[in-house]
Chains A and B, each alone.
Chain A
Amino acid sequence: MSKILDKERAMEVKVSRAEQYSWASLTSLGIIFWWFQMRMLDGWTIVDQSAERLLSIYFVVIAATIALEVVIAVVLDALGGGKAPAKDERDLAIDARAGLNERLFFIGAINVLVWQALWEGALDGHGLPRIDLTRLPTLFFALFTILFIGEAVKRLSTIWLYRAQATHD
């Protein structure tokens, strides 16, 4: 009887595949965002770039995201002995809660952008930080950053929810 419990205590340090995926995906997201901001920012200033150049950055980001997600899935599958990742009701509940957090972040962030745009138009000469959304690189950077942060919120929520339900006895 105690052998079963001892064996399980040893296994409890192992995290689920879904949690491993979240960590790996968050890391890849961070790497891609790092590359993205290197091409978009000079210090705290958004660099002026042509629409063609922005389009190429967009395609590289999308392609790199897909490629890294495939690599993560293949590696995790290999580590799991080639079995498909098992997702049960708790995984789905955590996915749903993390998705809700992501959606709430998007609603908040888009509202901030709308407020900023209206503020710029309605109150000329205000002392708040200025974001010129009529400039293409600024708009592109703002929207893409919101997408990145939203995805990071989802991954972090997932990890936090898994950790909150994990036991360490």
Chain B
Amino acid sequence: MIDRGASGPKPGRGRVANRVRAFRVERGVTQQGLADLVGATRQTINAVEAGKYAPSLELAFRIARAFDAPFEAVWEFTADIS
């Protein structure tokens, strides 16, 4: 178990960045095509690519799997430590 102590760094707000658009274009898949593959709507894929919607862990895994890429190659989490 991690013990940060009373004065240790506290997790602040984070940001989920992704390379979904880059992977998708590289593989020649449309947003609708990817949406159909992962069981989402095209608008959701669009919002994810624009960084306006952070998907659930399940959808994030589905997207990485659709590209046949490792999870961390598609998704990146940047935590602000305060």
* Chain A residues packing against B (C-beta within 8 Å): 1, 4-5, 7-8, 11-12, 15-16, 86-91, 162, 164-167, 169
Residues of A within 8 A of B8 (CB): none
- Using a Cβ–Cβ cut-off of 8 Å, how many residues does chain B contribute to the interface with A? 23
Smallest beta-carbon distance B59→chain A, Å = 6
B40 at interface, CB cutoff 8 A: yes
Binds A, one of B9-17, B25-33, B63-71, B74-82: B25-33
Contact (Cβ within 8 A) B40 A8:
no
What are the residues of chain B within 8 A of A165 when measuring CB–CB?
Answer: 43, 47, 50, 52-53
* Alpha-carbon distance A7/B41, docked complex (angstroms): 16
| Interfacial chain A residues near B49, Cβ < 8 Å | 167
Cα-based distance from A90 to B56 in the complex (angstroms)? 9
State whether the Cβ of B39 lies closer than 8 Å to any Cβ in chain A.
yes
- Cα distance, A4 to B49, chains bound together (Å): 14
A1-B25, A167-B50 known; A86-B31 Cβ under 8 A = no
Smallest beta-carbon distance B18→chain A, Å = 14
A11 and B44 contact, CB distance less than 8 A:
no
Closest A residue to B43 by beta carbon equals A16
Roughly how many angstroms separate A4 CA and B29 CA in the complex, as a whole number? 8
Q: Which residue of A lies closest to B39 (CB)?
A: A88
Tell me whether B53 and A90 are in contact (CB under 8 A): yes
Residues of B contacting A87 with CB < 8 Å? 41
**A-B contact list, 18 entries, CB within 8 Å:** A4-B25, A4-B30, A7-B30, A11-B32, A16-B41, A88-B59, A90-B43, A91-B41, A91-B44, A164-B52, A165-B50, A165-B52, A166-B46, A166-B47, A166-B52, A167-B47, A167-B52, A169-B50
Q: Do A89 and B43 touch (CB < 8 A)?
A: no
CA distance A11 to B35 in the complex (A): 14
Among B31, B41, B59, which residue has its beta carbon within 8 angstroms of that of A8?
A: B31
Instruction: For B41, give its contact among A1, A4, A12, A86 (CB under 8 Å).
Output: A86
A90 to B46, CA, bound (A): 11
Is A89 within 8 A of B30, CB to CB? no
Q: Which residue of B lies closest to A12 (CB)?
A: B46
